[in-house]
Amino acid sequence: MKILQSLFEKPWLAQAGEAVMPQTSGLMPQRIALRFFLAAVSVLFFLFIITFLSRSQYPDFVPLAGQPWQPFTDSGQLWINSAILLLASLAMQWGVYSSARGQLNASLVALILALLFTVAFMLAQFMVWQQLMALGYYVGSNPANSFYYLLTAIHALHLFGGLLVLLAVIYRFFRSAALPRLHNSLALCASYWHYLLVLWMILFLLLTSRSETYAAIAALCGF
């Protein structure tokens, strides 16, 4: 009987409350691919930021913050957007923690919350676009405007790509309850979300800075 029982055991399915041992043997190529991708994204945004700082030293560059009438002197809405993206990142981390402990339901809830918070962040960013255009801050009216739309659009595009991957993870979740595989996928997704959160905070601080800040940073960079 013990022999038959061992034949029908499913070690890849954890019992309720039992910790899952992640299978890392097949995860290394995905981790390496993600690191290369994030390195490429970092280089891309680094070049954009350098170009932004260089362009900020021209007379026709008018920052979006500094004076009372400028839209991001009060950046409260962008802080709210940042908090929403932070919640998405925390939900992803909760999913990783739950899947490692064999908590299927909690992992699914975390995935759905991460999905909803990410979509909410993208919609909130689009609302800021609409507010800017309603105030007359169009794409071509000022280089600072152009950079804001460009950088936030590229950031949102990377988030959208992450959402497609997350939807694929949710689809695999419903097809199979293999927790080690789910945990590995969630760990990679969480790393990506944490990266995009840090990247957004850098962009946020850069795009809402004043002309004096741009001049000081440009001087340090030798512009």
Per-residue pLDDT of 6-30, as tens digits, reads: 333 433 334 444 444 444 444 578 8
- 178 DSSP assignment: -
- Asked if 95 contacts 186 with a C-beta cutoff of 8 angstroms, the reply is yes
Mean pLDDT of 69-96: 96
Q: Which residues, in sequence order, are CB contacts of 190 under 8 Å at separation 6+? A: 89, 92, 93, 95, 96
Mean of all residue pLDDT scores within the chain: 86
Kindly report the number of other CB atoms within 10 A of residue 72's CB atom. 22
- Asked if 182 contacts 99 with a C-beta cutoff of 8 angstroms, the reply is yes
Per-residue pLDDT of 148-157, as tens digits, reads: 999 999 999 9
Structure tokens at 203: 């962009």
- Asked if 138 contacts 21 with a C-beta cutoff of 8 angstroms, the reply is no
Per-residue pLDDT of 193-220, as tens digits, reads: 999 999 999 999 999 999 899 988 888 8
Give, rounded to a whole angstrom, the gap between the first and last alpha carbons of the chain.
78
Superfamily holding 77-223: Cytochrome c oxidase, subunit III, four-helix bundle (1.20.120.80)
Nearest-angstrom CA–CA distance, 157 and 161 = 6
10 Å CB burial of residue 136 (0-12, 13-18, 19+) is: exposed
pTM summary value: 0.86
Q: Strand, coil or helix: what is 152?
A: helix
- Asked if 22 contacts 185 with a C-beta cutoff of 8 angstroms, the reply is no
**Total number of residues shown for the chain:** 223
- Asked if 162 contacts 118 with a C-beta cutoff of 8 angstroms, the reply is yes
CA 62 to chain centre: 28
